[in-house]
Amino acid sequence: MSNAAQAYARTAQTTSSPREIEAQALLKAANKLQNAMSNWDKGDTDIDAALLFNRKLWSILLSAVTSDENPQSVEVRQNIANIGTFVMTQTMEMQLNPKPELLKPLIEINCNLAAGLSGRA
């Protein structure tokens, strides 16, 4: 990455709201999962890295949503926690029994949540 691109990335990161950063991270995870699903039959998929990135991201989101300092209503926090539990369960199933179709709900959840965070939903 060029110095200009790195500077732009740092500036974008410091001027983005937490919601925008979360949306970008969810879209990055969805993209990694989509690439793994699209390249499944080619054998050059990096499914483990995509699942690891998504799992780490959702671990952070779950930690934030269960924090006492979280300003969201209990109902919103519970809904996100329920989605996160599904994501973690689906990820574990994918690791135990890899099937490309198991990635689709993970991709859709990340994209839909990102759209909501960025006001596009």
The predicted-structure confidence for 16-67, as pLDDT tens digits, reads as follows: 677 788 889 999 999 999 999 988 887 756 888 999 999 999 999 999 888 8
Asked whether residue 48 is domain-assigned, the answer is yes
Asked whether residue 3 is domain-assigned, the answer is no
Asked whether residue 12 is domain-assigned, the answer is no
Number of separate domains in the chain: 1
CATH value at residue 36: 1.20.120
CB environment 5-43: b (16+ within 10 A), e (fewer): eeeeeeeeeeeeeeebebbbbbbebbebbbbbbeebeee
pTM equals 0.79
How far apart CA 23 and CA 14 sit, in angstroms, is: 15
pLDDT at 68 over 90: no
Asked whether residue 10 is domain-assigned, the answer is no
Asked whether residue 30 is domain-assigned, the answer is yes
pLDDT value of position 66: 84
- 97-115 mean pLDDT: 93
Asked whether residue 84 is domain-assigned, the answer is yes
Of 114 and 13, the one with more pLDDT? 114
pLDDT value of position 45: 66
pLDDT class of 77 with cuts at 50, 70, 90: confident
How far apart CA 55 and CA 58 sit, in angstroms, is: 5
pLDDT value of position 67: 82
How far apart CA 40 and CA 52 sit, in angstroms, is: 17
Closest C-alpha to 105, from 28, 55, 49, 33:
33
Asked whether residue 28 is domain-assigned, the answer is yes
How far apart CA 109 and CA 104 sit, in angstroms, is: 9
Quote the domain boundaries for residue 65.
18-117
2-6, 44-48, 68-72, 105-109: which has the highest mean pLDDT?
105-109
Closest C-alpha to 49, from 59, 36, 61:
36
Lowest-pLDDT choice from 27-31, 66-70, 85-89: 66-70
The contacts of residue 35 (CB under 8 Å, 6+ apart) are 45, 46, 50
Asked whether residue 9 is domain-assigned, the answer is no
